[in-house]
Homo-oligomer: A and B are copies of this chain.
Amino acid sequence: MADLKKVYSHEFTSANFPLDEDGRTYHVSTKPGEVANRVVTVGDHYRAFQIAEYFDNVTREDLTIKESGPFKVSNDHIFMYMSKRNFLTITGTYKGVPVSVVAICMGMPMMDFFIRETRHVVKGPMAIIRFGSCGTIKDIETGSIAVATGAFMVSRNYDYFTSENETSPYYISEACSADKELQEILYNNLKHECKNDNIKVVKGLNGSADSFYSSQARYDSNFVDSNENLFKAIKEKHPDCITLEMETFGLFHLAKCVTSTYNKNQEPKSKKVKRISNEIKTAATTMIFANRVNNTFISTEKVPILQEKMIKSILDSLIEINLGDEKVKSKN
């Protein structure tokens, strides 16, 4: 059994934004200096390890889990921290530029923990690319790659199910766009990387749902979900929607809410204030695992091939984007 003294030894001093005595945040558990300003975020630890394999000088032996979190690995070429709550942060360099990967598990609240706590410990502008899997609601074959031009949220309207006053079982939000520049760099890198293979790269809107099941119009006979018309409602509100997953909207939305660049109409306030301290440039790309039109699932042998191409494209895009950080650029 894990050493529980280690797990429960930290004192937290504020109920508002708890930090332990080392300055680590409460859930993701990193502190200043441990996370790069160019970050890939993924769901599970394996994908994080697969990405970190591309970091400079990293060996497979660096990338293992031999015990429960919290634990730290730190050597010349890699920093790794697994939090008690299984957030895994790995920081290294890629082609000489500092980059991090953070595995956040699933769902919008986990994305919210990651963005806020990571933003709290990183200085200056950031670029964050989400790399995940999704289902498509269009006639696109599984094993294709999607790049999100923007994302919207599909949420269960809980009151619809327990009171008489509500008319819609689901809320479908307006869309928030990805960062245009980062999204285009990513799309072009993916197209280039896949040009000699029979892999399709598509662009379009992504819907992020608060359930893998009900809010993605899956049928679960055990529960009343009233989602028979959900695909139709999504397509009516967002005809450009091609994919559904569970996290991307959180990233795009919070990037729009960054204090220094916030503007309700979503356009940057002016060219002059665009690149100020806590800006976050965002993009997202997903492997299409499920096709919801013909109810097919990807053949898993295809996944490693897709991942290899996507990881290279994502890391290349992350170091290509200009964050106004000359020191980093000169290393490139």
Q: For the complex, what is the distance from the CA of A86 to the CA of B48, rounded to whole Å?
A: 14
Q: Is the CB of B213 within 8 A of A116?
A: yes
Q: Is the CB of A15 within 8 A of B135?
A: yes
- Nearest Cβ on chain B to A198's Cβ, whole angstroms: 20
**Using a CB-CB cutoff of 8 Å, which residues 76-98 of chain A contact chain B?**
84-86
Chain A, residues 196-221, CB within 8 Å of chain B (1/0): the string is 00000000000000111110001111
B contact residues around A105 at 8 Å (CB): 85-86, 105, 110
Looking at chain A's contact residues, is the secondary structure mostly helix, strand, loop, or mixed?
loop
Contact A218:B295 (CB < 8 A) given known A106-B109, A211-B109, A253-B161: no
Q: Does A283 contact B (CB under 8 A)?
A: no
Q: For the complex, what is the distance from the CA of A49 to the CA of B3, rounded to whole Å?
A: 11
Q: Is the CB of A300 within 8 A of B10?
A: yes
Q: Is the CB of A162 within 8 A of B174?
A: yes
Across the interface, A300 reaches (CB within 8 A) one of B8, B16, B119, B214, namely B8
**Using a CB-CB cutoff of 8 Å, which residues 21-59 of chain A contact chain B?**
26-27, 43-46, 49-50, 53
Across the interface, A210 reaches (CB within 8 A) one of B49, B109, B221, B262, namely B109
Chain A, residues 1-21, CB within 8 Å of chain B (1/0): the string is 110100111111111111000
B contact residues around A13 at 8 Å (CB): 297
- Nearest Cβ on chain B to A123's Cβ, whole angstroms: 11
Q: For the complex, what is the distance from the CA of A63 to the CA of B253, rounded to whole Å?
A: 40
B contact residues around A155 at 8 Å (CB): 155
B contact residues around A84 at 8 Å (CB): 44, 46
Across the interface, A112 reaches (CB within 8 A) one of B8, B211, B304, namely B211
Interface 9-mer from A65-73, A184-192, A312-320, A321-329: A65-73
Q: For the complex, what is the distance from the CA of A26 to the CA of B246, rounded to whole Å?
A: 15
B contact residues around A1 at 8 Å (CB): 49, 53, 60-61, 63-64
With A105-B110, A112-B212 given, name 7 new contacts (CB 8 A): A15-B296, A46-B84, A106-B110, A107-B110, A109-B109, A109-B246, A164-B265
Interface residues of A (CB under 8 A from B): 1-2, 4, 7-18, 26-27, 43-46, 49-50, 53, 60-61, 63-68, 84-86, 105-110, 112-113, 116, 119-120, 135, 153, 155, 158-159, 161-164, 173-174, 176, 210-214, 218-225, 246, 249, 253-254, 256-259, 262, 264-266, 278, 290-292, 295-297, 299-300, 303-304
